[in-house]
Amino acid sequence: MSDNAFVDSNIWLYAFFLRDGEEALHERAKALIEMPLRYVISDQVIAEVSSNLLRKASMAEGGLVEIVTSFYSRCHVVSPSHEMHLKASRLRTQHQFSYWDSLIVAAALEAGCSVLYSEDMQDGQVIDGTLSIRNPLTAPTLA
């Protein structure tokens, strides 16, 4: 379903950057992001992925520019707003999310997503009765 699934930065990083011992995680993440869907991400995801690819993967600037450009062409990118920050504050209070995770969840809710793919949060948790957090790296299938 188009524009209905938010993909957190950790999933993109597993797909873009293969580390020893993480071959299965890399393949699962790649399989998810290569599906012909228009995923939702936020400016925060682009910044986190970019920073990590430059710092940890020693990616060349040209490669990073290609990835950032592809994000904007194939994904719906959500930008922060006052409402999103207020929602993130409520989420931190209700669910004890970290500051950064609360912004990811708030962005997914603001975009009307029903699924948030993330490795960092509780798999199966449902937020506000509408957003289901799923860890595609542990699931046997990516349905």
According to CATH, what is the number of the domain 5-134?
Answer: 3.40.50.1010
Rounded to two decimals, the pTM is 0.92
What DSSP line would sit under 81-98, residue for residue?
A: -HHHHHHHHHHHHHH---
Q: What is the C-alpha separation between 5 and 21, in angstroms, rounded?
A: 28
- What are the tens digits of pLDDT across the range 34-73? 999 999 999 999 999 999 999 999 999 999 999 999 999 9
Name the pLDDT band for 139 (thresholds 50, 70, 90).
low
Q: Where are the domains of the chain?
A: 5-134
Q: What is the C-alpha separation between 45 and 26, in angstroms, rounded?
A: 18
Tell whether the model's pLDDT for residue 143 goes beyond 50. no
Per 3-state DSSP, the chain is made up of helix, strand and coil in percentages (nearest 5) of: 50, 15, 35
- What are the tens digits of pLDDT across the range 2-25? 569 999 999 999 999 988 999 999
Q: What is the C-alpha separation between 43 and 103, in angstroms, rounded?
A: 10
